[in-house]
Amino acid sequence: MTQETNLLRARAKAYAAPLAAFALVLSTGALIVGHQHVNAATAADNSATPINDASIDPLLALDQATEAVASRVTPAVVNIAVTSHRTEQPAMEGEGGGNDQDDNPFSQFFGPGSGHGFGQQGPEQGQGPRQIEHGIGSGIIISPDGYIVTNNHVVENAKTVSVTMDNGKTLDAKVVGADPKTDVAVIKVNEPGDYPFVSFAKEMPRIGDWVVAIGNPYGLGGTVTAGIVSAEGRDIGDGPYDRFLQIDAPINRGNSGGPTFNMQGQVVGMNTAIYSPSGGSVGIGFAIPASTVSTVEAALEHGGSIARGYLGVEIQPVSQDIAENLGLKSAAGAIVDKVMPGTPAAEAGLKTGDVITKLNGKDIAEASDLTLQVGMLKPGEKVQLTYMRDGAEKTADATLAPQKAEKTASADESGTNDKAAPALGIQLAPASEVAGSGDKGVAIVGVDPNGAAAEQGLATGQVILDVGGKPVSTPQEVKSEVANAKSQGKKSVLMRIQTAEGDRFVAVPFPKA
What single letter denotes the amino acid at residue 99?
N
Residues 453 and 425: their CA atoms lie apart, in Å, by: 6
Q: Report, as residue numbers or ranges, the catalytic residues.
A: 153, 183, 256
CA proximity to 351, closest of 362, 359, 343, 361: 343
Which residues 6+ apart lie within 8 Å of 248 measured at CB? 227, 228, 230, 283, 284, 285
Rounded CA-CA distance 304/296 in Å is: 10
Greatest alpha-carbon pair distance for the chain in Å reads 81
Name 194's Cβ contacts closer than 8 Å, sequence gap at least 6: 44, 47, 144, 145
- H helix or E strand, kind and range, residue 331: none
Instruction: Give the span between the Cα atoms of 159 and 85, in whole angstroms.
Output: 8
Distance CA 26, CA 118 (A): 13
Q: Are 244 and 286 in contact (CB under 8 A)?
A: yes
What distance in Å separates the CA atoms of residue 444 and residue 426, rounded to the nearest whole number? 7
As a three-state string, the secondary structure of 451-487 is CHHHHCCCCCCCEEEEECCEECCCHHHHHHHHHHHHH
Which helix (H) or strand (E) element contains residue 503?
Answer: strand 502-509
For 417-441, b/e burial (b = at least 16 CB within 10 A) is: bbbbbebbbbebbbbeebeebeeeb
Question: What is the C-alpha end-to-end distance of the chain, expressed in Å?
Answer: 41
